[in-house]
C-alpha cells in the first residue's frame, strides 16, 4: 500500500492511501491520475485527436461532411482509459471513419441526419475498442 501525505494551506495534514488490486501485490505499476478533458474541434474531413487523459470527451462541431478520426495516444495513457464521442450530423447522414488509434475491427459509425450519436470506447493498451 502506498500512502501520500501533504499539508493543506491551513497547516493540517492530509493522508491518502492507495492499495493495489488483489493478486497484483508483486507488480509495480504507474497509473495516470483520472482526469477528464473535453475537446470540441471545428469540423474537418480529418480530425487529429491527441488523447492525453484517462477520460476524453470528443465533441466536434456539427458534421457537415463525412469525417475520419485519427487518435494519437500519449504514452502515459494506461489500459482502461475511456473515449466518449458526441457526433452531431447536419440534415444529411454522415459517416465517421475510425482511423488510427481505434481497434482495426471497429465498425465505422453512421450518424443519421439531424440526430446526435453517442459512442464509448475503452483503451486496451494498444487501441480504443468499442464499448457500446
CA dist 51 and 78 (Å) reads: 11
Beta strands across the sheet bearing 94-98: 46-51, 67-73, 94-98, 109-111
Average pLDDT, the chain: 90
Percent of the chain with pLDDT over 70: 86
pLDDT digits (tens, 9 = 90+) for 65-108: 999 999 999 999 999 999 999 999 999 999 999 999 999 999 99
Model pLDDT, residue 129 = 98
**Taking the complete model, does pTM exceed 0.85, yes or no?**
no
Percent of the chain with pLDDT over 90: 73
Amino acid at each position: 500500500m502506498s500512502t501520500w501525505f501533504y499539508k493543506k494551506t491551513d497547516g493540517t495534514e492530509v493522508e491518502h492511501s492507495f492499495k493495489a488490486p488483489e493478486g497484483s501485490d508483486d507488480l509495480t505499476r504507474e497509473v495516470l491520475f483520472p482526469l477528464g478533458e473535453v475537446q470540441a474541434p471545428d469540423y474537418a474531413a480529418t480530425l487529429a485527436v491527441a488523447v492525453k487523459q484517462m477520460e476524453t470527451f470528443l465533441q466536434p462541431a456539427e458534421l457537415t461532411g463525412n469525417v475520419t478520426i485519427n487518435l494519437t495516444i500519449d504514452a502515459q495513457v494506461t489500459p482502461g482509459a475511456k473515449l466518449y464521442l458526441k457526433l452531431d450530423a447536419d440534415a444529411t447522414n454522415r459517416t465517421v471513419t475510425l482511423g488510427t488509434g481505434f481497434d482495426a475491427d471497429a465498425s465505422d459509425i453512421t450518424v443519421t441526419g439531424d440526430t446526435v450519436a453517442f459512442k464509448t470506447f475503452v483503451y486496451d493498451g494498444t487501441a480504443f475498442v468499442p464499448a457500446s
